[in-house]
Structure 1
């Protein structure tokens, strides 16, 4: 199994009636801002371990499990909303950073949270790295009735137990699942991640089953259509320098089959006042697992510039 070079410590922080689980590496220093890492959808804070281990410089790193992921409870809701992640992050920065600005890194969903939050609270962000946080395809208002209906139908399916996540008889089943999703993930890293990405719970047959640490309610679509004009207004309000990093595999084309492209994403990025684009070769969407040393180098070079 992968051996972590820098050991994290866990604590729980009260955030908006939830007990938020947060991992930390290193110690606070008065002369450097905290480095905050935000994980993606159906991921956990421990997922950053490989990047933290690859960093040349030891600094205070803070990585929360978002609500309903990892060891942070979801509050018994049956669907989740993007604005809650923004408010949660604001509470966490109040706790850890106070009036200090932070260096922020987000992957995928965490990248989208990072970009939106940096437009809402620009004064709190010194520099921002967005790893494959592309946003969503543009939707038309005429799609709203169908989307609301689908949202309601999916909530009903959730309550009938039809959207439950897979359970595995042993933790190595979770590791195989991770490697199937990401063929570049090595066995040692998959084994390490599986132990942090899932937990053994009693099953009806008397044995244990390993369950992913993610609330299945995260699978419910957002009832509201994605508004590009709103996103662009948030992008335009960002004052921090931004590094937008992409993997060589072009996951956008794989996901959206022509409904949303890198060219369209790059066009949106033009609204960000100070942005540059980086690229990681031989990597897919989970680029922080595929090429942690390269990702760590990009992050450190950008924050030191």
Structure 2
């Protein structure tokens, strides 16, 4: 049996309706006059509770709010058969209007959440005080000629929607988490499994709508993304793990040189590489990440 994860700062669960959909929020700390809330948004097939280890590692208490994106965690699913990237920007905009209507916030986004955060910060630059992107590289540019094949694939997948297999126990869920990321400590995996999955009559199912796995019929257009990135006004902290996940995942389809050129359009960027960390760097090195975040946000 793994040791019990030593929770230092328990979160509070709240639910908030954003754009007609029930969203789950995790809250730590209390508002401090003159200090913006720190908002944290997770990546694809993840949950807001994923940031617990970083919050526990902060040296100082502060107000932190993590969102479960629509169709993930305890937030409601859309009831539709697919998800659209602009909806994440809409949900984030609604969240910030609800929790900090008159003042900018500090925003952290991981992976998909980092991509959402970067685009949003360019569309709503006045809403950001500081922005932290954790491995939100974006994706390879897709040529218009790829549209027919992509749309055909999407239509075919709609006929046979994806599903998620159940796990017999939470220990099996924790094992899957560690298989995905061998650096994840056993006690952290056991704690996170209870937030990553829920018990059903069929077994433990991941808290994620299988529709997220459908092919995206909307092509990724680099020019549109960079038009947003170059309008970011807030200072940006870019953090990545020492294991080059960009090259590992995309290979020659999205070379490092291409990403470096993209990041160069952002007006004010500081960069950090966390040693002995991969894509899930907030799991791998939460203490080191927390130290960099606090230094940047101060």
TM class by shorter chain equals over 0.9
The CA deviation at 1:48 is 0.4
In the alignment, what sits opposite 2:273?
Answer: 279
Alignment of 1:1-305 (within 5 A): 1-158=4-161, 163-203=162-202, 209-304=203-298
Q: Give aligned pairs, total.
A: 295
Q: Any stretches of 5+ residues in structure 2 without a counterpart? A: none
The CA deviation at 1:189 is 0.6
Measure, in 1, the Cα distance between the counterparts of 2:91 and 2:249.
28
Q: Indicate the SS of the match to 2:239.
A: strand
Measure, in 2, the Cα distance between the counterparts of 1:251 and 1:156.
33
The CA deviation at 1:29 is 1.3
Measure, in 2, the Cα distance between the counterparts of 1:294 and 1:154.
41
Q: Indicate the SS of the match to 2:253.
A: coil
The CA deviation at 1:221 is 2.0
CA deviation vs aligned residue, 1:50-98 (integer Å, no higher than 9, x gap): 0000011110001010000000011211111110000000111011001
Q: Any stretches of 5+ residues in structure 1 without a counterpart? A: 204-208
The CA deviation at 1:3 is 2.1
Measure, in 2, the Cα distance between the counterparts of 1:3 and 1:164.
34
CA deviation vs aligned residue, 1:87-134 (integer Å, no higher than 9, x gap): 000111011001110000000010001001001100000010000000
Q: Indicate the SS of the match to 2:220.
A: coil
Measure, in 1, the Cα distance between the counterparts of 2:222 and 2:168.
43
Measure, in 2, the Cα distance between the counterparts of 1:216 and 1:111.
21
CA deviation vs aligned residue, 1:22-46 (integer Å, no higher than 9, x gap): 0000001111000000011010011
Measure, in 2, the Cα distance between the counterparts of 1:131 and 1:166.
29
The two structures have a TM-score, normalised by structure 1, of 0.95
CA deviation vs aligned residue, 1:123-157 (integer Å, no higher than 9, x gap): 00001000000000011111111111111112222
Measure, in 2, the Cα distance between the counterparts of 1:244 and 1:254.
19
Q: Indicate the SS of the match to 2:252.
A: coil
Measure, in 2, the Cα distance between the counterparts of 1:88 and 1:32.
23
Measure, in 2, the Cα distance between the counterparts of 1:261 and 1:288.
24
The CA deviation at 1:188 is 0.5
In the alignment, what sits opposite 1:206?
Answer: none
The CA deviation at 1:257 is 2.1
Measure, in 2, the Cα distance between the counterparts of 1:224 and 1:200.
34
CA deviation vs aligned residue, 1:139-182 (integer Å, no higher than 9, x gap): 11111111111111122221xxxx21121111100000000000
